[in-house]
Amino acid sequence: MAAIEILGLEKTYMVGFWRKRPKRALEPLHLTVEEGEIFGFLGPNGAGKTTTLKMLMGLVFPTAGTARILGRAWTDPEVKAQIGFLPEQPYFYDYLTAHELLDYYGQLSGVPAAVRKPRIEEVLSRVGLTDVKGLQLRKFSKGMLQRAGIAQAILHNPRLVFLDEPMSGLDPLGRREVRDLIEQLKREGKTVFFSTHILSDAEALCDRVAIIHKGQLRGVGAVEELTSSVQGKIEVVWQGTQIPASMKSLGAECHVTGDTVRAVLGENQQDAAIDALRRDRIRLIAITPLRTSLEAYFVEKLQHPQAVPENTVGKAAGTKA
Amino acid sequence: MTAQRRTTIIAGACLAVSLTACVLLQHRLDQIRPESTIEDVLYIDSPKVVKRASLGFDGLMACMYWTRTVQYFGHRHYELSHTYNELAPLLEITTALDPHLMPPYQFGASFLAPAPPNGAGQPDRAIKLMEYGIEHNPDNWHLYYDLAFVYYTELKDYKKASEIFDRGSRVPDAHPFLKVMAAQTAQHAGDYTTARLLWSATFDTAREKQIRQNALEHLRAIQVDEDVSHLQAAVTRFGERTGRLPSSISELCTTEHLPGVPVDPDGNAYTMTPEGRILVENPDNFPFASKGLPPGYKRSGLPKFHTKL
Amino acid sequence: MSARILHIARNTFREAVRDRVLYNLIAFALLLSGAAIFVGQISIDIERLVVVNLGLTAVSLFGVVIAIFIGIGLVSKEIDKRTLYTVLSRPVRRWEFIVGKFFGLAGTLVVNAFFMAIGVFGALLYVAHKFSKPDALILVALYFIILEFLIICSLALLFSSFSSPLLSAVFAFSLFVIGSFADDLRGFARMAHGFMRWIATGAAYLVPNFSTLNVISAVAHQQPLSAQLVLQNTLYALFYATMALSGAVLIFERRNLK
């Protein structure tokens, strides 16, 4: 079953003094996320990521369109027991301690009292907040708040977790920890949907990504396929500063850095390059297929304002009614 | 049906039901607690204290007290009470808060002075009220009128009334009528014409419904009194001429060369007892009439504003 | 369902307590004890009257001020601070949120009034040296004041669901003042004519009728109160609060959170 099916969700705000001017925050969005995958929702700031998430959470009402979460209508309150949400820059009741906050949220999520207490301890240790569980949240640093946010998102053991910019405000150690956590969630069989504008995180974590810009979906696909070798190039690295003539004749772009040379050639020229180096007894260090980074794909998609009509990669786009 | 739709319908229904219930309950509550309001109101019955307690919002408080006064009077009147003890304090507080509010003075003139059940029976307080009003509004001719009105109707001090009408007529922009009244009261004090002039003036210039009704009733009473006196005088003349009483009122009227038997303001003909006494048909409909009443007739003590305005 | 409402109510209460709201009781205690001692010294023969009037009026006013100050932020603060996001992402219905907040606030005020009542009776004992039977009426007056609180809470919540804290405070306070003069407003309405009469009458019935709930001077004079009055006032307060809360729910259900 698809974890999330977004069927044409759209949001238009009326702005201006008389609220007559329409402002399109999100064009009709069609997107499917499968269970068990880590899905990245990428886009620059103001692209519509948070708007989409807020609509899915029922905080904002779409101008048109519907969605299904775990097979049920997105407005169904019961479905909320199976999802967790970490909002962007979360803010919690600052007069509560972390423990009290989780206890309260646990109560609201319907976690039975007997299960709640051990679960809170477990979650707190998982996000590394055990030491400060008795401290009032108003004394928490940004990173600590972020962890508390993640804690409340996974407290009730949801099947699907939504994270809005989960790495924001964290130092590198914190970001590493969150990445580990997300991978762990996937191993537990949960689905993770997270939005970010930091591409390296997405590249490292996600199975699939969607790119959104100015309210429009620009691209969807599995990370591997999107970054699979584009244009079939290879990179050859060898010892020394010499560039064999035969290499030049192959049309390689060569750069000398310190005492190594890097050259970029076509994939089909791989054997010829190796021969050229062997003939001159030059020591080969590495041959690597050149992959496009997600960043390049991202930038390219941002520059071309055509929406991708349908989710074409992977499973067929769900059109269940 | 989505959850939101269901909640909307239930909340909407709750809203409608509660609103209706609130309105109905307020009605019921009003019935349980009509008396308590005035006692609450006059918990503070000193004008000075009220003024201080108003925190400077005198005008608004004056309006509220005036509203309460009218409610109070109307309520007691239709409840057929006999006393209006709180009327004077209410009027005094209202005018203390706002001395330039005019209706209370006229109300006081009409209803503070007359004896119960028509009024509070406190002409001296009425006079005090008018004089207070004149002190603060020396250029308002109507207040002189009101003061003279009290002297004329209740105290029957026609000389004083005339003096005050005269004083009032000197006020700039005074109604010329005041000069007329000054003259009338000086010379023809007890006449029906004078009384009629006075009550017509009140009826014409007052805007408050109860004052106008009161004036109207007085005018009707004057009509009856006048008619009865004329008819009674005719009976006496008849007796002097013929040495006997008329056999019927029609005989009397024919002798007097009247087109028919005169009728009272309600359209009912006057009647005559065998003893020659002229009677009005329904004395109850003329609460202020003093003539044409059957012998031994006692006013039921209930003021009645018979005619609807 | 009711469990969630209870949890939200408890949390609202906890927030009020941690916001040091209950410290107002200290000011109240000081005021009342000062007055009691002062009045006891000067022997003006109406000590009991003063203590009852002052005490009950203070309970009412302090409570209304607290109700408004906390109530106006109940919803708008959560929206502004976005603490609502993580709450509504759970199986909490929006209407449960409103109802829970209402009970939390009402509960805070009841607890507050309870402590104040002890203060009033204490001061009364001090000046009168003993309790007399009609003093039990003070409990009725307190009960009516609590009914007043219910109405004010529901109104504050209603305004908070769509308006900024400042505006909400203005509206709620205005309605409190106008509602205290509800009888006069209906008097005005009866004297008006035509179109104005309809408007005035409508307003007079919509405005919360606090004059019927204010029996402070009657109780001070030890006048009896009918059981009918108690019953009808109770019903009125409950229905009025329901009306305001229904309005709040209807508005909040539709609100797009920023």
**pLDDT at residue A63, as a whole number:** 92
Is B21 in contact with C239 (Cβ distance < 8 A)?
yes
Report the share of chain A in percent with pLDDT over 70. Answer: 92
Q: For testing the chain A interface, which of B4, B6, B8 should be mutated: the one with the most A CBs within 10 Å?
A: B4
Is B2 in contact with A73 (Cβ distance < 8 A)?
yes
Q: Which residues of C55-94 are buried (b: 16+ CB within 10 A; e: fewer)?
A: bbebbbebbbebbbbbbbbbbbebbeebbbbbbbbbbbbb
Instruction: Please report residues of A whose CB lies closer than 8 A to that of B3.
Output: 75-77
Instruction: Please report residues of B whose CB lies closer than 8 A to that of C211.
Output: 37, 40
Residue-wise pLDDT tens digits, A62-79 = 999 999 999 999 988 889
**pLDDT at residue C45, as a whole number:** 62
Per-residue confidence at B4, pLDDT binned at 50, 70, 90? confident
Tokens of A175: 């970001």
Tokens of C73: 């932020």
Q: How far apart are CA C155 and CA C201, in angstroms?
A: 20
Higher-confidence residue of B34 and C22: namely C22
Q: How far apart are CA A264 and CA A237, in angstroms?
A: 9
Residue type, B56: G
Tokens of A58: 């029922």
Identify which of A26, A69, A57 has the alpha carbon closest to the alpha carbon of residue A212. A26
Per-residue confidence at B43, pLDDT binned at 50, 70, 90? low
What's chain C's Rg over C-alpha atoms? Answer: 20
**pLDDT at residue A317, as a whole number:** 40
Q: How far apart are CA C122 and CA B75, in angstroms?
A: 41
Residue-wise pLDDT tens digits, B122-167 = 899 999 999 999 998 888 888 999 999 899 888 888 888 888 998 8
Per-residue confidence at B41, pLDDT binned at 50, 70, 90? low
Q: Which residue of C has its CA nearest to B72?
A: C187
Identify which of C188, C194, C186 has the alpha carbon closest to the alpha carbon of residue C212. C186
**pLDDT at residue B289, as a whole number:** 86
Contacts of B173 by beta carbon, 8 Å cutoff, 6+ apart? B139, B141
Task: Judge whether residue A309 has pLDDT over 70.
Answer: no
**pLDDT at residue B80, as a whole number:** 66
Report the share of chain B in percent with pLDDT over 90. Answer: 12
Residue-wise pLDDT tens digits, C226-256 = 888 899 999 999 999 999 999 999 999 998 8
Q: SS3 sequence, chain B?
A: CCHHHHHHHHHHHHHHHHHHHHHHHHHHHHHHCHHHHHHHHCCCCCHHHHHHHCCCCHHHHHHHHHHHHHHHHHHHHHCCCCCCCCHHHHHHHHHHHCCCCCHHHHHHHHHCCCCCCCCCCCHHHHHHHHHHHHHHCCCCHHHHHHHHHHHHHCCCCHHHHHHHHHHHHCCCCCCCHHHHHHHHHHHCCCCHHHHHHHHHHHHHHCCCHHHHHHHHHHHHHHHHHHHHHHHHHHHHHHHHHHCCCCCCHHHHHHHCCCCCCCECCCCCECEECCCCCEECCCHHHCCCCCCCCCCCCCCCCCCCCCCCC
Residue-wise pLDDT tens digits, C153-196 = 999 999 999 988 899 999 999 999 999 888 888 878 877 778 88
**pLDDT at residue A118, as a whole number:** 94
**pLDDT at residue A108, as a whole number:** 94
The minimal CB distance from C217 to the residues B3, B21, B43 is found for B43
What's chain A's Rg over C-alpha atoms? Answer: 24
Tokens of A163: 């994270």
Task: Judge whether residue A183 has pLDDT over 80.
Answer: yes
Task: Judge whether residue A176 has pLDDT over 60.
Answer: yes
> What average pLDDT does this structure show over C80-104?
92
Q: How far apart are CA B284 and CA B290, in angstroms?
A: 11
Find out whether B238 and B208 touch, Cβ atoms under 8 Å.
no
Neighbours of A320 (CB within 10 A): 10
As for the ipTM of the complex, it is: 0.87
Q: How far apart are CA C198 and CA C194, in angstroms?
A: 7
**Total count of residues recorded for chain A:** 321
Owner of token pair 């946010």 = A149
Domain boundaries, chain C: 2-253
Q: Which CATH class is domain A2-227+293-303?
A: alpha beta
Residue-wise pLDDT tens digits, A15-55 = 888 878 888 889 899 999 999 999 999 888 888 889 999 99
Domain boundaries, chain A: 2-227+293-303, 233-289
Domain boundaries, chain B: 220-285
Chain B closest-CA separation from residue A16 CA (Å): 29
Q: How far apart are CA B147 and CA A304, in angstroms?
A: 93
Report the share of chain C in percent with pLDDT over 90. Answer: 40
CATH architecture entry for A233-289: 2-Layer Sandwich (3.30)
Owner of token pair 């601070």 = C81
